[in-house]
Copies of this chain bind each other. A is one copy, B any other.
Amino acid sequence: MEEIQNTKTIKAALLGVGTVGSGVYELVRERQDDFINICGVRIEIAKILVRDTSKSREGIPSSLLTDKWEEIIRDDEISVIIEVMGGIEPARTYILEAMRAGKQVITANKDLIAEHGHELLSTAEEMQCDLKFEAAVAGCIPIIQVLKHSMASEDITEIMGIVNGTTNYILTRMTQSGLSYEEALQEATDLGYAEADPAADVDGLDAGRKIAIMASIAFHSRVTFSDVYIEGIRKITAKDIYYAKEFGSVIKLLGIAKKTEDGIEVKVLPILIPKDHPLATVNDSYNAVFVHGTASGDTMYYGRGAGKLPTASAVTGDLCTVVRHLTERHNNLHVCSCYRDIPVKNIKDTCSRFFLRLQVEDRPGVLANISSVFGTSQVSIAQVVQKSRENGVAELVIITDEVKELYFSDAMSILEQLSIIKNISSLIRVYE
C-alpha cells in the first residue's frame, strides 16, 4: 500500500454531467483510495463543464460547475479531459483544442469517433497524447482494448455483434412474450431504454457507428459510418419472429463485418441466427461481440452495452490507463497488483446449496428421519424426489437451501451412521 498522504494528484475535467458523467463522478469519488493503489496517484475531477451552472445536480458539488470552456482549457493543472457531452459539436472542437493544449482525452462519443475518428486520432498522434474511447462501443465490454492489444497478433476475419441494447430489448420481448413491435417499443420507452425519438436505435444507425469503429480497428483499414449498409428493425413483425422460431432461429439486429478476399463487407441488419449460436442467448439489453481470428478461432465478449455505471466503468477504465501513462506506471504493470491482504476463508465457513443422491431403506418414516437430522444441523431441504425403488431400497435426490458447509458436513456425519442410509452416492453443489 502506497502512502496516501504524500500522493500526487492528477486533475481531470468532465465535459457534461448527464447519466454517464454523473456515473463517472461517482466512481472516481467512491474508488479514490483504490485508484491510488492502482495508478499511483490521486485522481480528482476538478471541473465540470455544463450549459447551466444554476441547475442543481444531486451529488455533484456546484463549486465544480462551469459554463466556460476557457476555464478548463486554460487550466494547466487539468491534464485529462473526459468528454461525455455527446453530439458532434462542440465536442469535436473541444477535444481537438484539448489535445493541442497537451491534455489527454477520453471520450464516450461514438458518433464523433465514427465520423471524425481519423482527424482526432491523427491529432493525437501529432500531439503524442492519449485519445481513448472504450465507452463508445458496447458499454463496459472492453472490445476496443481487446482488439487493439490482446488480439494485436491476430488476423481477424470476422466481427459480429449485438451492439444496441434498445433493439435487443425490443426483439427479446417480441420473441419471449409475443409482443408486437409497437408494444415492445412502448415498453422500452417507458423503461427509459428508448429515447423519445428512437430512430438512431431502431433504424440501426447507432449499431452502424459501432460496427464501423470495430471494423476499422479489427481489419486495420478505415471503415466509416457511410460505408455501412444499414437496415433497422421497424419492419419486423411478431409473425416473422414466430416463423423464425419454427425454423429453429431467433431474429437479432447484428452489426457484421467480414474481411474477404476482395474487400470488406460491413452491414447492420436484422438476421435469423440458429438458436444454439452463442449470440442467440444474448437477451434483454445485454450486448455481445463475437470475433473470429485465424489463430484464436471464435471468441465472444458479453456485458452491459449501456446504462449509467456500466458505461462509466468503461470511461474510468480508460482513465486508469491514461493516468498510468501519465505517471509512467505502464512501465511496471508487470508488478504484482496485490496491494490488499484479504484472508482466504476455509471452505467450511462458506455457504452452499447441495444436490444429494442417496440410497435408503424403502419404508415409512425414513424421510422424516433424514429431515430431522438435517433440521437439527440447520440444513433445510428445498426439494426431495424419490427416483426409484427396488429390493427394499429407494433412491432419493435431495436439494438443500443454502447452508454453511460446516453445518452440512455435521449433518452428513450423522446421516452416514444411520442404518436406514444404505449409500450416499453423490454430493454435488448447486449454484445459488
Q: Is the CB of A336 within 8 A of B121?
A: yes
Whether the pair B336, A118 counts as a contact (CB closer than 8 A) is yes
Q: How many residues of A contact B (CB 8 A)?
A: 129
Once the chains bind, are A428 and B320 in contact (CB under 8 Å)? no
Binding site for B on A (CB under 8 A): 23, 27, 31, 34-35, 37-39, 117-118, 121-122, 124-125, 128-132, 134, 140-142, 145-146, 148-155, 216-217, 219-223, 227, 229, 235-237, 239-240, 243-244, 246-247, 249, 251, 254, 259-260, 262-267, 269-274, 276-278, 281, 293-304, 307, 309-310, 312-314, 316-317, 319-321, 324-325, 330-345, 347, 349-350, 355, 357, 383, 385, 387, 397, 399, 425-426, 428-431
Closest to A354 in B: B272
Q: Could you tell me if A295 and B312 are in contact, using CB atoms closer than 8 angstroms?
A: yes
- The residue on B at minimum CB distance from A39 is B152
Contact assessment for B153 and A35 in the assembled complex, using a CB-CB cutoff below 8 Å: yes
Whether B426 and A338, one on each chain, are in contact in the complex, defined by CB atoms closer than 8 angstroms, is: no
Q: How many copies does the complex hold?
A: 2
The residue on B at minimum CB distance from A337 is B220
The answer on a CB contact under 8 Å between B334 and A155 is no
Among A38, A154, A277, A304, chain B packs the most CB atoms within 10 A around the CB of: A154
A129–B332 alpha-carbon span in the complex (Å):
7
Instruction: Assess whether B336 is in contact with A122, with CB atoms less than 8 Å apart.
Output: yes
**Best-buried of A149, A219, A227, A316 by chain B (most CB within 10 Å):** A149
Name the CB-closest residue of B to A302: B300
A-B residue pairs in contact (CB < 8 Å), sample of 12: A142-B151, A146-B150, A152-B320, A217-B337, A220-B338, A220-B340, A240-B357, A266-B344, A270-B428, A272-B430, A272-B431, A295-B310
Measured CB to CB, the closest approach of chain B to A75, in angstroms, equals: 22
Partner of A243, one of B38, B236, B263, B397: B397
